[in-house]
Amino acid sequence: MCGIFSFISREPSSIATVLVEGLQKITYRGYDSVGVSVLHNEEHHVIKAVGNMDQLAPLMPKKSLQAHVGIGHIRWATNGSVSLQNAHPVASKHFALVHNGIISNIDDIAPRLPKISVLKGETDSEVVVHFCEHLWSNNRSSFFSLERAVELLEGSWALAIACTKNPESLLFARKQSPLIIGEAPEGFYLASDIGSMPDTVTELTFPEDGDYGFVNTKEIIVYNNKKEVVRPTSPHVTTQQTATKGSFSSFLLKEIHEQPDVVRSILKNNVQKTESSSFTPSFAESVRIRTARMHLIACGSSYYASLLGVHWLEKIANIAASPYIASEYYWQCAEDKMCAFISQSGETADILRLFSEPLKPKAKHTMCLINSAHSSLSRLVPRVIPLYAGVERSVASTKAFLSQITTLFLLACAWGGEEGRKHIAKLETLPTLLDTLIKGSYDFLATNIPPLLDINHYIFLSAENLYPIIVEGSLKMKELSYITSTAYTFDNMPFLHIHPHSMLIIVLNKDHEPLAHEALALALQDHAPFVIVITNGPSDLIPPHCLHLETPECDHLVFPMLATPFLQMIALVVAEHRGSCIDQPRNLAKSVTVE
Ligand code: G6P
């Protein structure tokens, strides 16, 4: 999705280089064009490219301009096609801006411009920059132009705006789209993603919905509804996680390997065996309120994690839980229930819209499970359970998904009384089991899964609590390889779908022997050319010509956590055979931040 990274330097400096470094850190979000603009000698020097950062690099000047202000953007085309004209920054005579979000009343705004002919592209953002220009021609104040603009605009926006008349100042505004300001000794950074903030940043300021203002070389001034306001700040804690792949061929593979440590981190931060409690004070506080019914609300992979959460909450904690895709949720009779939002980014628009008028929260109890600290969602919901997955740079989610299902399991244990708490022991062995499983698995799969390039249909099969992980496994296959892939439970499998051009991936709890027989007989009789069977521990049932992957012996309740890395690695190996771009698959956004 689109990303903003802008910089105002206290002293003149090589702004463009800083912008490129910052943007580089958010390329994982997915994008199709990129651009930067440096304000120098009362002129916006705009450089843009369609494609990726590699296309931008040759266009950069050999000698970077020394300036105070620069704005940068990666664009994921939603409103207007992928073109140089539509790429950001967009500029008028005095203004240049970068914009995330969608202006919904552009048809009312455009006719206010004196000359519509100035518009060269197709985006709402270009209308906004010319609208600011038009307002400025009347009042000669960039700040009042912005103030008037946000009064008249409708929709969602995060804006960073440079004006030639204020070479040491950067305007900003936000509504329903994330924007954070970071202060460092060298200056201020405005970014849509906390992950792009340099390590030098010491303090973060979080503008709220409807805020606008400016940052100069000394301070941040925030307004809302024509009144100056003070917004909360928090220290910037750097994650110490390197932005490099190390010895791994992709971030995705690296992040799959980080999963044992993610589970360790979840346990360390939430579980503590003392006489008075099994949990750390913060986790104990998060689970203090237990309701008999729950709604789990999420999108994409996080939604599939919720499906598993629903299963555990019912089986372990006896809570009647229902999963909802956020776009389909309307606070359905939610007064007496706990509404739990599950999100890697905490910025997914379909979730955030539930907190705005006229949908305002109708639940008495809300909580969220979020990986990205300081996200918009974490500021809207009182109980926040962090997921401890660390920064996920691959667009396709792996370790964040595992962190979500592990944390949901822990929640179910916490609400499951004495019996529930006994299951925590199953989590404690998980990191070591994951270590054993992941070690060497990728090399094994890369050697043993043949490059079946003519296979164009992948079928995932499972039963019971394994369905959510095969839907996620199937999604990983689609996301990484662009292959049609479908997940079925045994009971609902349309048999005709298995044919010589399909590959079958079966996840089986080895205690379900009748099902195993049925599935394998099916696979053989219908001639799927290649069959992979994943079981929890050894099984004699698997015919020799199937590729049999055994997780370490484990209880069926935690088998989903162990089968998941196998499914991730299968999708990765197939994608590599097909030559796909692993970390930034075509047309895949990390999180969808516009409705
Ligand atoms: C989009 C992405 C998915 C992601 C989903 C939810 O659909 O393409 O990969 O799982 O958003 O994102 P979130 O950040 O809310 O977990």
- Tell how far the Cα of 343 is from the centroid of ligand 1, in angstroms: 7
Burial class (CB in 10 A: 0-12, 13-18, 19+), 14: middle
| Lowest-confidence segment of 124-133, 230-239, 561-570 by average pLDDT | 230-239
Ligand 1: lining residues by beta carbon, under 6 Å? 299-302, 343-345, 348, 397, 588-589, 591-592
Could you tell me if 556 and 465 are in contact, meaning their C-beta atoms sit under 8 angstroms apart?
yes
How far is residue 456 CA from its own chain's centroid?
28
Predicted confidence at residue 358, as pLDDT, reads 67
SS3 assignment, position 80: coil
Helices (H), 235-338: 251-257, 259-270, 281-286, 300-317
What mean pLDDT do residues 264-280 have?
86
Q: Is the pLDDT reported for residue 22 higher than 90?
A: yes
Predicted confidence at residue 361, as pLDDT, reads 75
Helices (H), 272-361: 281-286, 300-317, 349-352
Band (pLDDT 50/70/90 cuts) for residue 496 is: low
What are the tens digits of pLDDT across the range 201-214?
999 999 998 999 99
How far, CA to CA in Å, does 83 sit from each of 80, 101, 123, 410? 8, 18, 10, 47
Check residue 57 and report its DSSP letter: G
- Tell how far the Cα of 9 is from the centroid of ligand 1, in angstroms: 34
Check residue 155 and report its DSSP letter: B
- Tell how far the Cα of 299 is from the centroid of ligand 1, in angstroms: 6
| Lowest-confidence segment of 310-314, 393-397, 521-525, 562-566 by average pLDDT | 521-525
Ligand 1 pocket test, pick from 26, 341, 348 with the greatest ligand atom count within 8 Å of Cβ, gives: 348
Question: How far is residue 441's CA from residue 449's CA, in Å, rounded to a whole number?
Answer: 12
- Tell how far the Cα of 61 is from the centroid of ligand 1, in angstroms: 36
Question: How far is residue 344's CA from residue 592's CA, in Å, rounded to a whole number?
Answer: 11
Q: Which atom of ligand 1 is nearest to the CA of 397?
A: 9
Nearest CA to ligand 1 atom 12: 591
How many Cα atoms within 13 Å fall on the side-chain side of residue 45?
Answer: 18
Predicted confidence at residue 569, as pLDDT, reads 97
- φ, ψ for residue 180 (rounded to 5)? -125, 145
Could you tell me if 417 and 424 are in contact, meaning their C-beta atoms sit under 8 angstroms apart?
no
Ligand 1 pocket test, pick from 28, 31, 472, 592 with the greatest ligand atom count within 8 Å of Cβ, gives: 592
Predicted confidence at residue 512, as pLDDT, reads 74
Q: Which atom of ligand 1 is nearest to the CA of 351?
A: 15
Give exposure, 280-303, as e/b (b: 16+ Cβ within 10 Å). beebeebbeeebeebbbbbbbbbb
pLDDT, mean over the chain: 90
User: Please, what sign has the CA dihedral across residues 414, 417, 420, 422?
Assistant: positive
Predicted confidence at residue 400, as pLDDT, reads 97
Predicted confidence at residue 316, as pLDDT, reads 96
Q: Which atom of ligand 1 is nearest to the CA of 404?
A: 16
Question: How far is residue 260's CA from residue 520's CA, in Å, rounded to a whole number?
Answer: 31
Q: Which residues contact 191 (CB under 8 A, 6 or more apart)?
A: 3, 4, 5, 6, 22, 26, 179, 180, 182, 197
State both tokens at 118.
Answer: 């100035």
Band (pLDDT 50/70/90 cuts) for residue 134 is: very high
Q: Give residue 266's identity as a one-letter amino acid code.
A: I
Choose among 559, 550, 515, 509: nearest CA to 532.
550
- Tell how far the Cα of 29 is from the centroid of ligand 1, in angstroms: 10
Tracing tokens 């004196």 back to the chain, one arrives at 114
Is pTM beyond 0.75? Reply is yes
- φ, ψ for residue 253 (rounded to 5)? -65, -40
- Tell how far the Cα of 376 is from the centroid of ligand 1, in angstroms: 15
Predicted confidence at residue 595, as pLDDT, reads 67
What are the tens digits of pLDDT across the range 306-343?
999 999 999 999 999 999 999 999 887 667 789 999 99
Q: Is the pLDDT reported for residue 275 higher than 70?
A: no
Tracing tokens 């928090």 back to the chain, one arrives at 234
Q: Which atom of ligand 1 is nearest to the CA of 589?
A: 8
Share of the chain above pLDDT 90, in %: 65
Nearest CA to ligand 1 atom 4: 300
What mean pLDDT do residues 527-556 have?
86
Question: How far is residue 181's CA from residue 7's CA, in Å, rounded to a whole number?
Answer: 10
What are the tens digits of pLDDT across the range 362-417?
788 999 999 987 888 988 898 999 999 998 989 899 999 999 999 999 999 999 99
Predicted confidence at residue 368, as pLDDT, reads 96
Give exposure, 219-246, as e/b (b: 16+ Cβ within 10 Å). ebebbbeeeeeeeeeeebeeeeeeeebe
Q: Which atom of ligand 1 is nearest to the CA of 372?
A: 14
Nearest CA to ligand 1 atom 11: 591
- Tell how far the Cα of 588 is from the centroid of ligand 1, in angstroms: 10
Question: How far is residue 76's CA from residue 400's CA, in Å, rounded to a whole number?
Answer: 22
What mean pLDDT do residues 24-52 have?
91
Nearest CA to ligand 1 atom 5: 300
Question: How far is residue 413's CA from residue 415's CA, in Å, rounded to a whole number?
Answer: 5
Could you tell me if 438 and 565 are in contact, meaning their C-beta atoms sit under 8 angstroms apart?
yes
What mean pLDDT do residues 571-576 have?
95
Predicted confidence at residue 515, as pLDDT, reads 67
Ligand 1 pocket test, pick from 303, 344, 369 with the greatest ligand atom count within 8 Å of Cβ, gives: 344
Predicted confidence at residue 484, as pLDDT, reads 87
User: Please, what sign has the CA dihedral across residues 146, 151, 152, 157?
Assistant: positive
Ligand 1 pocket test, pick from 590, 593, 594, 595 with the greatest ligand atom count within 8 Å of Cβ, gives: 590
- Tell how far the Cα of 594 is from the centroid of ligand 1, in angstroms: 12
Predicted confidence at residue 375, as pLDDT, reads 85
Nearest CA to ligand 1 atom 15: 343
CB atoms under 10 Å from CB of 595, counted, come to 16
State both tokens at 358.
Answer: 């006229």
Q: Is the pLDDT reported for residue 273 higher than 80?
A: no
Nearest CA to ligand 1 atom 9: 590
Ligand 1 pocket test, pick from 76, 78, 299 with the greatest ligand atom count within 8 Å of Cβ, gives: 299
What mean pLDDT do residues 238-263 have?
85
Question: How far is residue 528's CA from residue 438's CA, in Å, rounded to a whole number?
Answer: 27
- Tell how far the Cα of 223 is from the centroid of ligand 1, in angstroms: 32
Q: Which atom of ligand 1 is nearest to the CA of 395?
A: 9
- Tell how far the Cα of 366 is from the centroid of ligand 1, in angstroms: 20
First to last CA, the chain: 12
What's the chain's Rg over C-alpha atoms? 25
